[in-house]
Amino acid sequence: MNGIDKNEQVNQRSRPGLAVIVIAIACAIQPVYAKHLPQQDMTSYVVRADDSLYTFADRYMQSPADWRLLRDINHVANPRHLQINARLSIPTSRLRQTLLTAKVVAVRGSVEKLGTAGAPPLPVSAGTLLMEGDQISTGRDAFVSMLLSDGSHVVLPSSSRIKIGRLRTTLLTGAVDRQFDLRQGEVTTDVTPFKSPRDSFRVITPSVVAGVRGTRFRVNYRTAQDATTVEVLAGKIGVDGSKADNVPPDNTSAPQPIKGGAQTLVLAGYGNLTRTGDAAGASVRLLDPAEMVDPGKVQSAPQVTFDITPVDGAGAYRTEIATDAGFLDLLRDQRTTGPQAAFDNIPDGNYFVRVSATDAHGIDGLPQVFTFTRRLDTTNAAATPIDGNGYLFRWHVDGAATGARYRFILSDHADLSAPLIDLLDVSGGEMSVAHLAPGKYYWTIVVDTFENGLLLSIPSEIRSFTQTR
């Protein structure tokens, strides 16, 4: 066989077949490997004069050494010389980001920044700057409002706890990334419309991931039900069902929605309820705004009270008091099962009250805002019998404003209707009435003062007595 061993011939004939097998295996493996390659989000950049991969990486990338990554992705032959107006593809995840702050603009009651690693909590006051990673907690009847760099507001009412998961901007694009992790209670947001399509604003709870694009909405995580309600007052949001174990502990990426769960788009005037572990709940229409009975009356009684006109479908009502129309400086927040609300210890002043009806699922309806004036009645008054079947009425008003005028009303009706006497500009702090027929009488003193050119009438308590002879 020409000096060639038979076994060697067999080996030579078999080698081409072996090579084919190896190539086939490689071809089979390669597509499988490719499927596992992560697909990166890219940002496009137009090259300007004096740009190089070195200067770009030093200015905008997380590491100056990222010029090599840019070279490989964009197939750049000379990293020092780039063609002006050429487009570079930049991995968004490698762009440099800077941290932002949130400024506390209003605080009521006990608000704390929770410490880490066993450190004690720190009190939060107006002017405090909060950063990514900070966790804020509000006590009972406590509230805090935060202002973000773009003008958005975040309000945390009483008995709530939130962590600032992300608060940063990308240096190259200016895109702002904000994430708030609601651990307990509620958060209300008023988000400024986005300037960049890459801007993001998320509120996450153990139940949902709520993504926003410029809107006013509320998210309430109900610990007892392990469920989250969302109410959209303006704009729209996308709500995905989520689970607590889907939230990255280091907040380096967005929490992942439940696999297979469809996103619910919630428009203005709608809300939804989502239980932890379930797909996002269906969108439902919010209840109509609630009305109030005589909302403009001066609140002069020891308790500030509001009577709400019942709303069809309401299982409860929510009444909030604030010093501003935007409800950033909250004073009180109360839920009642009936259409009445009462508040103690409200100082004198001018306020805003916001009322909404709550449906059977715990979703708050559309709110309505009214103004009201609080002036506590400080009138000390008494009626003493005198000769001639009459009474002497005396009164004194603690802290009465200069120029205050007094109005005396006497009636034989408990609501002071059809008064027997209704006198304006009564001076001296007393007056007498004689020749009263037997019966029961009701009387009051109304203190009239002028504030900013407007007449303010503060009624005192309605008192009564019985004339027996």
Secondary structure letter of residue 416 according to DSSP: -
122 CB neighbour count, 10 Å cutoff: 12
* Whether residues 138 and 213 fall in one domain: yes
Report if residue 299 sits inside a domain.
no
Report if residue 294 sits inside a domain.
no
pLDDT of 368 > 70? The answer is yes
Report if residue 295 sits inside a domain.
no
Helix then strand then coil, in percent of the chain rounded to 5, is 10, 45, 45
Report if residue 176 sits inside a domain.
yes
Which of residues 327, 355, 374 is at a domain's end?
Answer: 374
How many residues comprise the chain? 469
Give the neighbor-by-neighbor strand order of the sheet with 379-386. 379-386, 390-397, 430-433
Which of residues 354, 374, 394 is at a domain's end?
Answer: 374
* Whether residues 109 and 203 fall in one domain: yes
Secondary structure letter of residue 81 according to DSSP: -
Tokens at 405, concatenated: 């005028």
* Whether residues 259 and 148 fall in one domain: yes
Report if residue 290 sits inside a domain.
no
- Give the range of the structural domain holding residue 234, as residue numbers without chain letter: 97-285
**Mean pLDDT across the stretch 261-286?**
91
pLDDT of 2 > 80? The answer is no
Report if residue 224 sits inside a domain.
yes
* Whether residues 414 and 455 fall in one domain: yes
Q: What local confidence, expressed as pLDDT, does residue 258 receive?
A: 52
Report if residue 328 sits inside a domain.
yes
Task: Give the three-state DSSP class for 389.
Answer: coil
Cβ–Cβ < 8 Å for 265, 283: yes
Q: How far apart are CA 184 and CA 426, in angstroms?
A: 56
* Whether residues 86 and 104 fall in one domain: no
328 CB neighbour count, 10 Å cutoff: 20
Q: DSSP readout, 288-307?
A: PPPPBSSTTS-B-SSSEEEE
Q: Give pTM, 2 decimals.
A: 0.78
* Whether residues 14 and 137 fall in one domain: no
392 CB neighbour count, 10 Å cutoff: 14
Burial 180-204 (b: 16+ CB within 10 A, else e): bbbbebbbbbbbbebeeeebbbbbb
Q: Which residues neighbour 428 within 8 Å (Cβ) at sequence distance 6 or greater?
A: none
- Whichever domain contains 109, its CATH number is 2.60.120.1440
Q: What local confidence, expressed as pLDDT, does residue 11 receive?
A: 42
> Exposed/middle/buried for 98, CB within 10 Å: 0-12, 13-18, 19+?
exposed
Overall number of domains in the chain: 5
**Distance, CA of 260 to chain centre:** 29
Cβ–Cβ < 8 Å for 270, 285: yes
**Mean pLDDT across the stretch 369-389?**
90
- Whichever domain contains 438, its CATH number is 2.60.40.10
* Whether residues 233 and 341 fall in one domain: no
Specify the pairing of strand 208-212 against strand 421-426.
Answer: unpaired
Residues 70-101: tens digit of each pLDDT: 999 999 999 999 999 999 999 999 999 999 99
Residues 17-56: tens digit of each pLDDT: 444 433 343 334 333 333 343 567 899 999 999 999 999 9
C-alpha R_g of the chain: 35
Residues 399-448: tens digit of each pLDDT: 776 778 899 999 999 999 999 999 988 877 888 998 889 999 999 999 88
Q: What local confidence, expressed as pLDDT, does residue 243 receive?
A: 57
* pLDDT confidence band for 253 (50 / 70 / 90): very low
225 CB neighbour count, 10 Å cutoff: 14
Residues 286-316: tens digit of each pLDDT: 999 999 999 989 999 999 999 999 999 999 9
Residues 159-193: tens digit of each pLDDT: 999 999 999 999 999 999 999 999 999 999 999 98
Q: How far apart are CA 181 and CA 161, in angstroms?
A: 9
Which residues are 124's β-sheet partners?
A: none
* Whether residues 102 and 88 fall in one domain: no
First to last CA, the chain: 152
Q: How far apart are CA 237 and CA 230, in angstroms?
A: 9
* Whether residues 102 and 245 fall in one domain: yes
Q: How far apart are CA 151 and CA 392, in angstroms?
A: 60
* Whether residues 146 and 130 fall in one domain: yes
Cβ–Cβ < 8 Å for 259, 240: no
Which of residues 72, 94, 116 is at a domain's end?
Answer: 94
Q: How far apart are CA 409 and CA 419, in angstroms?
A: 7
Report if residue 134 sits inside a domain.
yes
* Whether residues 184 and 243 fall in one domain: yes
Q: What local confidence, expressed as pLDDT, does residue 156 receive?
A: 96
Which residues are 373's β-sheet partners?
A: 350
Q: How far apart are CA 332 and CA 10, in angstroms?
A: 93
- Poorest-confidence range of 21-30, 257-266, 390-399? 21-30
Largest Cα separation within the chain, whole Å, is 156
* Whether residues 251 and 116 fall in one domain: yes
Which residues are 273's β-sheet partners?
A: 229
